[in-house]
Amino acid sequence: MELDEYYSIDSILAEQQKIPCITLHDYSKEANLNGDNSEVKRGSRVELPYWIAKPLAQFTLPTDDSLISIELPKTYSTKVRNVLDASPTSVDFKLLCPYFYLFGRKLLDLVVDDSLTSILEKAFKTRLRDVMDYSQSIGSATGQTYLQKLDETEKELYRVGQESALQFIQWRDRSTQHIKTVELGVRS
């Protein structure tokens, strides 16, 4: 976690996402990788939260061996990428991963995958247009249904867009600023 994200609840929740890993060494039950105090043999598949998988994947032993190898989560699989490439607006990110973009950005620190970067960027740019369109129609039932499919980053942008639309309406109707007349006591 970066220092500027230390107190960010969204960052903390994004780092709770599980990552499939393969152990490259035997681990005793004290390591508790599975969460059930069982030993983990070399070559075993375990799912670890990002916050623990990252340091384990980046740590190297004096023999230049790694402790674990990281695999891409199903959230960013080829199947999901193909759907995102075909129609980014049809994907329900809330079901897929509530922190799709934030977790995807963090995942890029661990894996080298050029296509993941382009898929994240394309999906974000395409969906942003719809997010802003829906945010400008305050109180729309369609907008509320659409809101259920957004990830947390998109929900925040939607909220900011709605605030902006409301501020514009208030400005247009001149309801934010009123000029009041003042009675001046004139001395004679």
One pLDDT digit (tens) per residue for the chain, 188 residues: 566 777 889 989 999 999 999 999 888 887 777 778 788 889 889 999 999 999 999 988 888 888 999 999 999 999 999 999 999 998 999 999 999 999 999 999 888 888 999 999 999 999 999 999 888 876 666 667 788 899 999 999 999 998 998 888 888 887 766 667 777 766 65
With tokens 């340091």, the residue in question is 55
Domains located in the chain, CATH noted: 18-72 (no CATH), 75-172 (1.20.58.2050)
Between strands 18-23 and 68-70, the pairing is antiparallel
pTM of the model: 0.81
Rounded Cα distance between 178 and 74, Å, is 55
Cβ atoms of 66 and 55 within 8 Å: the answer is no
Q: What angle do CA 138, 14, 156 make, to 5 degrees?
A: 15
